[in-house]
Structure 1
């Protein structure tokens, strides 16, 4: 009986999406691999994190350096980018044929991606976090940091970091 309840329970899978092909590959992988036949319903939560606008110590300095039009333009660019990423993610959903009912929630956060993702996973009650990997080498990872590495160490739910296959060139 308990097993039946678990199969009927809606699985909450958070998929971190962003502009990269690696991110969309991870979403596609998730759709193809995390929906067992006996699962009645799954909830996919798409999470996109916008970088914050620059913060200055004085609002007067911000207005002086960036007029109201410039700040509004930066905010609009962030909203447009988030919408673009979500449209790409929806296209991935349409391309994957599945018999399972999938409910999709879209969430957009603002801030440092590793912190926003880690917090959102807890807040959203995720059963698993799926994210892509840029597969940076040692030096790039040391300089830029790795969001997926940070999340793998800090999230409290199971996680899957999906690497995009390398294309063989002849």
Structure 2
């Protein structure tokens, strides 16, 4: 039986690099039905890659902003549509990277919420065997102010975590 490998994607180059590295170095791709029937060992069951995108929670907007203008329902609907479109774009880009690996089992999960919480909760819920994430490579000062999702997840999930750093070149 294959493993379940969750790969956190966010549309950045770092997450696509981590996905590509994972596919080239970690994932075992399944065999076709013909190959499995000719294999004396009963066939190889490949890994499943779960592409996970954490979409920021829909914001709750007050009836008026600070300058006294009203937010119309059209503006709020437009912002929600943009968030959905962004999620579709990110997941389709990641799925396209996976398409060059025939017989690879790919699942897509999009969840609303803070990326730290979404990733940790989904890894637990799915019973993942491994979590793969990219690293933005922030220095200690920037990490102190905005935090590091990969560091948080590495400390809080119960499965192995692979953080792939994109080379500077």
Question: TM-score, length-normalised on structure 1?
Answer: 0.82
Residue in 2 aligned with 1:45? 50
Q: Which has the larger helix fraction?
A: 1
Paired residues, number: 153
Give the 5 Å matches for 1:36-75: 36=28, 40-55=45-60, 65-75=70-80
Does residue 93 of the first structure (1) align with residue 85 of the second (2)?
no
* Structure 2 runs not aligned, ≥5 long: 30-42
Q: 1:54 to 1:65 in 2, by over 3 A?
A: farther
Aligned-partner Cα distance in 1 for 2:22–2:84: 25
* Structure 1 runs not aligned, ≥5 long: 1-8
Residue in 1 aligned with 2:89? 84
Deviation at 1:143, TM superposition (A): 0.9
Q: RMSD in angstroms over aligned alpha carbons?
A: 2.0
Does residue 116 of the first structure (1) align with residue 111 of the second (2)?
no
Deviation at 1:61, TM superposition (A): 5.7
Deviation at 1:93, TM superposition (A): 1.3
What SS is found at the alignment partner of 1:41?
coil
Residue in 2 aligned with 1:17? 9
Does the 8 A contact of 2:55 with 2:113 survive in 1? yes
Deviation at 1:35, TM superposition (A): 2.6
Aligned-partner Cα distance in 1 for 2:116–2:99: 28
Question: TM-score, length-normalised on structure 2?
Answer: 0.83
Aligned-partner Cα distance in 2 for 1:150–1:65: 37
